[in-house]
Structure 1
Amino acid sequence: MRGGSNYESGTPLVELRINEGESFEGFLRRFTKRVQQESIISEARRRQHFEPPSITRKKTAAAKRRKSVKATLKNM
């Protein structure tokens, strides 16, 4: 994860300055792109509700099972 230490340290997650002669729309577009690159929104959604490691492992295993079943059915 990029910028992971920023979440705990209390520093700004994204810091941008508006360029000389840049419109607000252009700045907003640049800001949105940076937020997506840093995956801030997805990280916030992931952290919104705590999920114990055991549940995370179960979900990962279930996803692997679904993927293997899908691949098996596709190859038949």
Structure 2
Amino acid sequence: MTKIEVRDGEPFESFIRRFRRAVEKAGILQDIKRKEYYEKPSERRKKRLAEA
């Protein structure tokens, strides 16, 4: 879980920028996109082998 605290006198835009950067660094969006649809284990294996 990404936790970002607002600094005193910090503009909203810079807070959002820091939040997006932290979420991207943690890989949260990639994980959500990967889990958006169910993928059978056999399909996952095929995909992994095709990438290698």
TM-score by length of 1: 0.62
- How much is the aligned-residue C-alpha RMSD, in angstroms? 1.1
TM-score by length of 2: 0.86
In the alignment, which residue of structure 2 is the partner of 1:33?
A: 21
Q: How does 1:1-76 map to 2 (within 5 A)?
A: 13-64=1-52
Aligned length: 52
Relative CO higher for 1 or 2, CA cutoff 8 Å, sep ≥ 6? 2
Counterpart CA distance in 1 for 2:19 and 2:50 is 36
- Identity across the alignment (%): 35
Runs of 4+ residues over 3 Å off in structure 1? none
For the pair shown, which has the larger CA radius of gyration, 1 or 2?
Answer: 1
Unaligned runs of 5+ in 2: none
